[in-house]
Chains A and B, each alone.
Chain A
Amino acid sequence: MTDQTQIQAISELPPVRQVGRSLWADARRKVLRDRSAVACLIVIAIYILLAAGAIVYEALAPKLESWLSYDEMADYGRANLPPSRENPLGTDWAGRQVWIKTILGAKVSMTVAFLANIIAVPLGLALGVLAGYFGRRTDAVIVWLYSTLASIPGIILLIAIKFAFQNVRVIGLDLSGIHGVYVALGVISWIGTCRLVRAETMKVRELDFVVAAHATGRGDLAIIWHHILPNIAHIGIISFSLGFVGAISAEVILSYLGLGVGVGTSSWGTMINSARMDLLAGRWWELSSAVGAMFLLVLALNIFGDALRDALDPRLRNI
């Protein structure tokens, strides 16, 4: 016995849409409406394209004769030339084009940051959810783990891990170079995400709809997958964007210290390292390129990250 008039009156929800408006869609709309966020997104996209282009170039260069690989770019006759029409950003000590090095540096930064976070964020998410959901012993173990790790100063830990990776090869990857950088970063930076996710999981676990899922007889893993994770995923996204910035800075510092990418790879960090003395000799172009490119990317990421966080934070919803 359904109340027909009731259904009709209730059906007058305007406007009648076929598909519902999910919270993700709402967040996407909010971000796209923010013009500065969109501008930053475009800048980031440009960097991604350049990085992708560099990856393709490096993959194809050995096969195409007219293209030069990194080592072959050296041309000692044209070393240390200031910016001009033929050398848009000048050349470095080995005669390589600074603008090419900058783009290659972008590639390194983007890949390292991406891969480091692809390791760190899911790791932090998984451990955080397990700690927050199961509590007691699981929680105690995981909290002990990250508290111990967190007590060691970050840079020192990174340096230590990099030293340990000196001659290690894992699944075909030489960990003493760039691969070691992002693995090391990944293995360290999951802690922040884990803490946030753990706290949020403990809150979500008490919400009625989770209790309802228990009452329906859903198993723990199913509840975690269907109910907990979707409601803390926004923390993962925000952590990723913040961690991205952190990873870029970390890689630059490591490479500057000579502990980052290997010898044959160009990154902003190595550029800064090799160019630091040049400043005294009046050669500013390599240093400025590297620093400028990094500054622009980090700025764009920060602004976009803030907009993303505001859009995703469930507490800032005013419905």
Chain B
Amino acid sequence: MSRSSDIILSVEDLRTYFPVRSKLLRTSRRFVRAVDGVNLSVRRGQTLGLVGESGSGKTTAGRTILGLIKPTTGRVIFDGNDISHLSRRRFQTIRRRMQIIFQDPVSSLNPRMTVGDIVAEPLAVHRIVPRRDRPRRVAKLLEQVGLAEQYANRYPHEFSGGQRQRIGIARALASEPELIIADEPVSALDVSVAAQILNLLKDLQERLGLSYLLIAHNLAVVEHFADQVAVMYLGRIVEQADSDALYARPTHPYTQALLSAVPKPVPGGGGGRIRLAGDPPSPIDPPTGCPFHTRCPLTRQLAEDAPDSDVHRLLSEGRTVSVIRRCAEQIPQLKSVKTDPSHLHACLLRQGE
């Protein structure tokens, strides 16, 4: 399929569990299974969109990949090197090549530092340029993100949200990274500003050959920007495909529901929407079997006509609901769709397709 040198980041069965603080005398420990077996890969120079709602674990996955959180098991392979269990010192060299952009323009910049100092920090840590050349390099970085060089003396609170995101991007670019993890980079911004930032990120990708792992919940943004998309639910990837394929032919019921839930900017829309029952379950006690089975419209629909032996009953929102037994008992693995080997999904009911 693709040569291994084409893949800059590869994640294998990544799991990050957080222990829930047990009460004084209780011996059994519960875990928040934030990331529960994730496999993905980012191709060099391309963007992988990681989509999910709150509780899906996408932010935790991003931070685990960056080494900010220690994975419980699994491997993270960056440019052919297994970085999952590197020592602090060895990780330093990797840090330069992987950077992060945050969602909140307010808390992502130190309010007590000038913009120049903020952008120069990676330059100092990695000793990229000698001290006297730093102001010039900072000016160049600011210019690259569309900010005038005079702004280096100002403080973050003097700027708007979009400008602060640009400063954050300049900081990320300072260490000349190859991979940038963008954690909801435009969710907190207005529409027109978001468009500017997205264009900027795309330009930078083209000019500098950057690879992105784009974490977002706005499906329209991801469709526009990403080359491949992976959909997460409760710590697992439920579907992954090239962007066009995912949006044109979603196979997993969750992806279908997600896409249909996005409001379209067409007046009178909202009809024909797939409605998901209830709220996402908590990652502390995930359901057995397929994590989505408690809310899945497909399994409920098929259970209506299925023989009793294949049916399992569960309690949902105060009512008894029937689902296909397999869905409640087996954990689906990612398998490819028949017609397209690069399009993967994890649904037992659609496995043959």
Contact = CB atoms under 8 A, between A and B. Distances in A.
- Do the two chains touch directly in the complex (Cβ atoms below 8 Å apart)? yes
Interface in B101-122: 102-104, 107-115, 118, 121-122
A215 B112 contact: no
Nearest to B121: A216
B147 A231 contact: no
B155 interface: yes
A226 B100 CA distance: 19
Interface residues of A, number: 35
B136 to A, nearest CB: 16
Nearest to B154: A20
Interface stretch (A11-19, A153-161, A281-289): A11-19
Contacts of B63: 211
Contacts of B163: 10
A314 B110 CA distance: 13
A18 B261 CA distance: 48
A18, A21, A22, A317 — most chain B CB neighbours (10 Å): A22
Contacts of A231: 110-112
Contact of B110 (A7, A10, A11, A209): A209
A191 to B, nearest CB: 26
Given A212-B171, A217-B96, A6 B122 contact: no
A1 B104 CA distance: 26
A119 to B, nearest CB: 25
Given A11-B148, A217-B95, A1 B203 contact: yes
Contact of A214 (B68, B171, B196): B68
Contact of A20 (B109, B147, B153, B203): B153
Contact of B104 (A10, A13, A208, A314): A208
- Chain A CB within 10 Å — which of B91, B99, B157 has the most? B157
Nearest to A19: B153
B207 interface: yes
B144 interface: yes
Contact of A21 (B110, B121, B158, B171): B158
B150 interface: yes
B80 interface: no
A211 B144 contact: no
Nearest to B168: A212
B175 interface: yes
A316 interface: no
Contacts of A10: 146-148, 163
Given A7-B146, A230-B110, A231-B111, A215 B66 contact: yes
B143 interface: yes
A18 B153 contact: yes
A208 B112 CA distance: 14
A2 B100 contact: no
A11 B163 CA distance: 11
Contact of B108 (A23, A209, A222): A209
A214 B98 CA distance: 12
A207 B168 CA distance: 14
Interface string B55-81: 000000001001010000000000000
A214 B168 CA distance: 14
A21 B155 contact: yes
B125 interface: yes
B22 interface: no
B264 interface: no
A242 interface: no
Interface of A: 1-3, 6-7, 10-11, 13, 16-23, 207-209, 211-218, 222, 226-227, 230-231, 314, 317, 319
Given A19-B153, A20-B153, 15 more contacts: A2-B146, A3-B146, A10-B147, A17-B154, A18-B153, A23-B112, A211-B102, A216-B122, A216-B171, A216-B175, A217-B92, A218-B121, A222-B125, A230-B110, A314-B111
